[in-house]
Amino acid sequence: GGDPWKECMEMAVQLARRAGQIIKKALTEEKHVSTKTSAADLVTETDNFVENVIISALKEKFPSHRFIGEESTAAGSKCVLTDSPTWIIDPIDGTCNFVHRFPTVAVSIGFAVNQELEFGVIYHCTEERLYTGRRGQGAFCNEKRLQVSKETDKSKALILTEIGPKRDPETLKLFLGNMESLLKAKVHGIRVIGSSTLALCHLASGAADAYYQFGLHCWDLAAATVIIREAGGIVIDTSGGPLDLMSCRVIAAGTKEMAMFLAQEIQTIHYTRDDEN
Ligand code: IPD
């Protein structure tokens, strides 16, 4: 009886808090910044250090589990989701913010079994807010239960998005074109905060009505998807079909109406799938 993954989730909470303390301390210190897939795709020693802290602790406790981590993937590890219990980890979401000391930085730990997301833990490092979602058991920020916005009217929508790493002229044209379409459709506003996971936590909290993005990764989506669904929200593909965790694109919203409005309005920006790299 009970929850078979309870111990795993408790460990995820502990590790997210521990990682958050490391990141908070490192935020004000000197950093060594490198680039990955583009000049805007950044990594620091702290990203690698924190991912290693999290994965080594989990491997010791759960030696049969599998791991997908942002920096392990960058270093050449395969990014495939099998039926095995799998941890999906972003050690620092909002690395560009972290580099600039812009205080919107998170640790994200998701967990899937049989390719189904079981729980998600996201820790806002500077505000010490812990977002959690457990399949079938609701979503919380610290002790407070989360509930998405019930807004269905696009003209009352606050929408969140993130820019994504590609900055070539064609990508920028599509990215700005999508913003232009939404503004022409007279939404209330669009915000870019520099962290996909925290933007998705704002959506789960009802602080925004919809989110869309091209160019994010499974480690930006895994934990947040559980949190949003448990807060009553919708997480789908940008085509309007079911979410594909490896597709590097997403629409999330409080209501089906808002999700479908976005699916109709935005043009696809092509990114290589996470499992094709
Ligand atoms: C990135 C950030 C960024 C978003 C990217 C993410 P990282 O995560 O959330 O805002 O545009 O899609 O990959 O690289 O800082 O972990």
Which pLDDT tens digits describe the chain residue by residue (277 residues)?
A: 688 999 999 999 999 999 999 999 999 999 999 999 999 999 999 999 999 999 999 999 999 999 999 999 999 999 999 999 999 999 999 999 999 999 999 999 999 999 999 999 999 999 999 999 999 999 999 999 999 999 999 999 999 999 999 999 999 999 999 999 999 999 999 999 999 999 999 999 999 999 999 999 999 999 999 999 999 999 999 999 999 999 999 999 999 999 999 999 999 999 999 999 7
**DSSP assignment letter at 154:** G
Respond yes or no: is residue 220 known to be catalytic: yes
Strand partners, 211: 160, 252
Q: Which of 220, 230, 244, 274 is catalytic?
A: 220
Q: Check residue 99 and give its pLDDT.
A: 97
- Alpha helix (H) ranges present in the chain? 6-27, 45-61, 70-74, 95-100, 169-184, 196-205, 218-230, 256-265
Distance 142 CA to ligand 1 centre (A): 23
Which helix (H) or strand (E) element contains residue 43?
strand 42-44
Nearest-CA residue for ligand 1 atom 12 is: 216
Q: Which CATH number, 3.30.470.20, 3.40.190.80, 3.50.50.60, 3.90.50.10, labels domain 154-276? A: 3.40.190.80
Distance 164 CA to ligand 1 centre (A): 7
Nearest-CA residue for ligand 1 atom 11 is: 164
Which of 36, 44, 104, 162 to probe ligand 1 with, by most ligand atoms within 8 A of CB? Answer: 162
State how beta strands 189-191 and 158-161 pair. parallel
Respond yes or no: is residue 276 known to be catalytic: no
State how beta strands 158-161 and 210-214 pair. parallel
* Whole-complex ipTM: 0.91
For the Cβ of 195 lying below 6 angstroms from any atom of ligand 1, the answer is yes
Q: Check residue 1 and give its pLDDT.
A: 62
**CB crowding 204-223: b at 16 or more within 10 Å, else e:** bbbebbbbbbbbbbbbbbbb
For the Cβ of 90 lying below 6 angstroms from any atom of ligand 1, the answer is yes
Q: Check residue 106 and give its pLDDT.
A: 98
For the Cβ of 194 lying below 6 angstroms from any atom of ligand 1, the answer is yes
87 in Cβ contact with 79 (< 8 Å): no
Q: Check residue 157 and give its pLDDT.
A: 98
Q: Does domain 6-145 have CATH number 3.30.540.10?
A: yes
193 in Cβ contact with 141 (< 8 Å): no
Q: Check residue 52 and give its pLDDT.
A: 97
Domain boundaries, the chain: 6-145, 154-276
Strand partners, 111: 87, 119
Q: Check residue 215 and give its pLDDT.
A: 97
With tokens 């989730």, the residue in question is 9
Show Cβ contacts of residue 124 under 8 Å, excluding neighbours closer than 6 positions: 20, 104, 105, 106, 130, 131, 198, 201
